[in-house]
Structure 1
Amino acid sequence: MRITLTSVFVDDQRAALAFYTDVLGFEVKHDVPLGEDAWLTVVPRDQPDGVELLLEPSRHRAVGPFRAAMREDGIPTLVLTVDDVVAEHARLVARGVVFTQPPVDAGEVTVAILDDTCGNLVQLVSTVQ
């Protein structure tokens, strides 16, 4: 058994696509029209056959309250691993990304939390070397 796909709810699929590709550096794997939405997945550029992230429309009635509660409590809905959180933080801040938590040493990992502009908090994590 293995994970091949996971999802993150987004307010606007096209805006999310721009953020996750142009800013974070993912690439499109699938962009299949489904009425007013799409089956829209991205993957890491260096792992084209890796785990896909589905940019899922957030219109379901349960999504709003869930995301609002998570955001209010500062809990990320997505965790992304990077080689160096401090360097990635600097790169993304230079691109205008807003962080709700700058890099913090948390023992065996360094973490930071950013706003993905699509309704989610995203945690970046790297292992301490």
Structure 2
Amino acid sequence: MNQSLALVSVVVRDYDDAIAFYTQKLGFELVDDTYQPEQDKRWVVVKPKGEGQTSILLAKASSPRQEKYIGDQAGGRVFLFLQTDDFARDFDAYTRRGVHFVRPPKHASYGTVAVFEDLYGTLWDLVQFT
């Protein structure tokens, strides 16, 4: 059996604001932005630049129940881990672009890591593994 994780859904408030954050602040690629008339929604996919295959589906909340999870995808824990090959480069670029880091860089046995939040407050690790 050969399996891989293709997409992870992140619930967002607004497609265009989310696209702007992920492409302009984090430098991700916009892979797809297709209107789906049968469901009256958009299929919006972004992914980090590089050889990785996992992408993020930016899923606009469509109910009050979904809206309450915007910015709290994992109950206050770090939800996603963005691996980099150059921590200093990406940390500096993200800081210059206004990405808000809630925990400063630290060196740990597994690598260098800092925690940032997306435009709605969902927590991410920026990590360079050793």
**Is TM > 0.5 for Structure 1 vs Structure 2?**
yes
CA distance in 1, matches of 2:27, 2:96: 14
Instruction: Look up the match of 1:58.
Output: 61
Tell me how far apart the structure 1 counterparts of residues 32 and 127 of structure 2 sit (CA, whole Å).
Answer: 26
Letter in 2 for 1:31: D
Matches within 5 A, 1:62-101: 64=68, 67=72, 70-71=75-76, 75-101=77-103
Runs of 4+ in 1 over 6 A off after TM superposition: none
Secondary structure of 1:50's match? coil
* Offset, 1:69: 7.1
- Which has a greater percent of helix? 1
TM-score when normalising by structure 2: 0.80
* Secondary structure of 1:70 counterpart: coil
Measure how far apart 1:83 and its partner are.
1.4
Unaligned runs of 5+ in 2: none
Which is worse superposed, 111-120 or 58-67? Answer: 58-67
C-alpha spacing 1:65/1:15, structure 2 compared with 1 (3 Å): closer
- Aligned match of 1:40: 44
Instruction: Name the aligned partner's letter for residue 78 of structure 1.
Output: L
Consecutive unaligned residues in structure 1, runs of 5 or more: none
Indicate the SS of the match to 2:31: strand
Distance 1:62 1:38, change over 3 A: closer
Task: Compute the RMSD of aligned alpha carbons.
Answer: 2.4
Q: Percent identity?
A: 33
Match of 1:121 in 2: 123
Please state whether the residue corresponding to 1:41 is helix, strand or coil.
strand
Structure 1, residues 86-105: CA drift from partner, whole Å, max 9, x if none?
33212111111111011111
Q: Count matched residues.
A: 124
Q: Which residue type is aligned with residue 84 of structure 1?
A: D
